[in-house]
Structure formats: structure tokens, C-alpha cells
Structure 1
């Protein structure tokens, strides 16, 4: 009988260890950061058409730490079951001038309303973004791109996502200073 008691105690200990690991994994994956596969033409040339693995973090947007130039994961205002990857071009109060490539080169200017952001893909000719559906509520931001994993064959290198190209906004630079393995 004593043997069964030791076996039960060991099984309980292992189960609790697994439960702790699972809880830590769940909290980390849903509330702190997680790897995300991103593919499609809308963010070319910054992100690859065939797919990039991006480390997404879920804290910055909750504390108001996203701004122009940041690549974010947004719940689509057109299809709420879909998450899209776009760059923030303007935040509330910003005046954004844009053009719709397929409708000629007519420029339009809009002031981003309070509680909203203006998002666009880097590839203007292959992106469905704020130019079509307008400013996006800040609450639809799900996360922010933090790192891009690059893994040719057997090598695993971590590189910073190029978050801040010159977008001609004449605004301050938003650099994270996160440069791994340059």
C-alpha cells in the first residue's frame, strides 16, 4: 500500500509541474508574446510574400506604446475573423494624405479621429487598408511586430524587423534600438 501512495504522490507532482508549465505557456502565448506566421503581398518588401515568422508582442498597444511606423497585427474591420498585418501611418489627430493607386493619383487628406489609427500596407498596389475602409479603432490592434525570425536551412538568426522606413512623413524617428546579430 505504501508503494501506491508514493506512486500517487509522484503522479500528482508530475501533473502539477505540467499544469504550471501549461499555465505559463498559455499566459505567455496569449498576453505577452508569441510567434506568428505572416505572408501575403501587402507588406512587400519589408515582409516576404511566401511568409515570415514574426515575434508578436501584446503589451505595447495596451499601454499606448504604438505609433507611426510600427508594424501591427489588426483585427480586420471588414472581416472580424481575420487578422491583418499593416503599418501604422497616423494616430489620432494626425493629418494623413494618401492616394488610391487604382483610382488615379488623386490625393486625399483625412484627420485621424480620436481613438483611431490609420494603417497601410507597404505595398500600396496590393494592400487593402485604411485607404479603403477608413481609420481603424485602436481597440482592433491585437499586437505589434517585435522581431522577424530568419532561418535559411540550418542557421537560425534573429533580425530586427525594419520598422521605420522613410515614409516621407517628416516626423521623428521611432527606433527601438533592438539590434540582435547584426
Structure 2
């Protein structure tokens, strides 16, 4: 019966109904994408090997927008402080009040330079670093990132054909006095 009634509608009315449903679907998708989860393509070597240069899709949770519930070692997506049109993914290595080494030793080196600079992360900011530090443009280059620029937290990655890997936090915070 429903098929006959729908079939009896004029072509104009059917087009209106299809358009209405399509617009509704688009609105729900947009709301979901803005407020809950989003997929973003990876691009660049700075987070390798955690995130590959290309071909990975990051699952971003918007629950963490503006730094809400962000923790040490989380991978976040944020707008670059000096280029609001660029969005990047980096790992949080300093939270408000933490002291961080501006230029940490690279590639397994343990010696810290004599003129190494310690920086305290200001309130409402985080210090970020790429997993592949030599290729990363991050807080060592432009300073702490305001939490207001954080778009979300990367929960994991998808890659071809239908694989998913949840990100685990490999970092452990060090407290003063530990060796």
C-alpha cells in the first residue's frame, strides 16, 4: 500500500521528499562530525611510526575539544598557533604547570646540552611534540599551544583495507626525584 501511495505522488513531490531526507541526513552527519567524532587523513612524517606519512585515517573524539580531559601522552589534533588554516596531530608532553626541556636530546642521545632551556607550560596551554622529533615542527618551534586551539584527541587510526589500531600511551610521567 505504501508503495502505491508513494508511487502516486508527482515527480515534484518525490523530489522534494528525497531532498528533504538528504538534507536531514547531511545535517545529522554535520552535527555528529562537529560534536562527537571525525575522521581526518594523515599527512606528514612527524608522528611516524605511530601515524604513517599517508594512508592513515585518524579517529578524532570531540569530547576533548579545547583541552577538556587531555592527559600526558595523548595525541591531539589542533590548529597551528601561527596558521589557523592548518591542523596537525602531535603528542602532549607537557601540561599546565609542567616543566619541559625545550630541545630534548634526539635519537636516543642521553646528554643534555649545558645551555638547555627549561620552560614552564603556562595555564590553559600544552606542550606538544612529534614522535619523529627531527621531522616535527611543534612546541620547540612555536612554543606552548593554547588549549582553545585543540580540536580533539586522536583515539586510533584506520588504514587500508579495514584495519583499526587504538592508540596506547607509551609515555610515563616522571616526578621530581626519580632517577
TM-score for the superposition, normalised by structure 1: 0.78
The answer for the alignment partner of 2:41 in structure 1 is: 37
Question: Paired residues, what number?
Answer: 163
User: What is the CA–CA distance in structure 2 between the aligned matches of 1:128 and 1:11, rounded to whole Å?
Assistant: 50
The answer for the alignment partner of 1:142 in structure 2 is: 151
1:40 touches 1:51 (CA, 8 Å); kept in 2? no
2:67 touches 2:148 (CA, 8 Å); kept in 1? no
Secondary structure of the equivalent of 2:52?
coil
1:101 touches 1:124 (CA, 8 Å); kept in 2? no
2:67 touches 2:152 (CA, 8 Å); kept in 1? no
Structure 1 residues without counterparts, runs of 5 or longer: 172-182
Alignment match of 1:111 (pick from 120, 125, 150):
120
- Asked whether 1:6 is paired with 2:9, we answer yes
- Asked whether 1:165 is paired with 2:170, we answer yes
Deviation at 1:101, TM superposition (A): 5.6
Structure 2 residues without counterparts, runs of 5 or longer: 1-5
The answer for the alignment partner of 2:138 in structure 1 is: 129
Secondary structure of the equivalent of 2:174?
coil
Deviation at 1:10, TM superposition (A): 3.4
1:70 touches 1:144 (CA, 8 Å); kept in 2? yes
Alignment match of 1:89 (pick from 93, 110, 120):
93
Q: How much is the aligned-residue C-alpha RMSD, in angstroms?
A: 2.5
Could you list the per-position Cα deviations for residues 9-68 of structure 1 after superposition, in whole angstroms to 9, with x for gaps in the alignment?
433332221121010011112222121111211111211123411111212224711121
2:155 touches 2:166 (CA, 8 Å); kept in 1? yes
User: What is the CA–CA distance in structure 2 between the aligned matches of 1:156 and 1:145, rounded to whole Å?
Assistant: 18
Deviation at 1:108, TM superposition (A): 2.2
- Which structure has more relative contact order (CA 8 Å, sep 6+)? It is 2
Secondary structure of the equivalent of 1:81?
strand
User: What is the CA–CA distance in structure 1 between the aligned matches of 2:58 and 2:173, rounded to whole Å?
Assistant: 25
1:120 touches 1:130 (CA, 8 Å); kept in 2? yes
User: What is the CA–CA distance in structure 2 between the aligned matches of 1:38 and 1:68, rounded to whole Å?
Assistant: 22
TM-score for the superposition, normalised by structure 2: 0.79
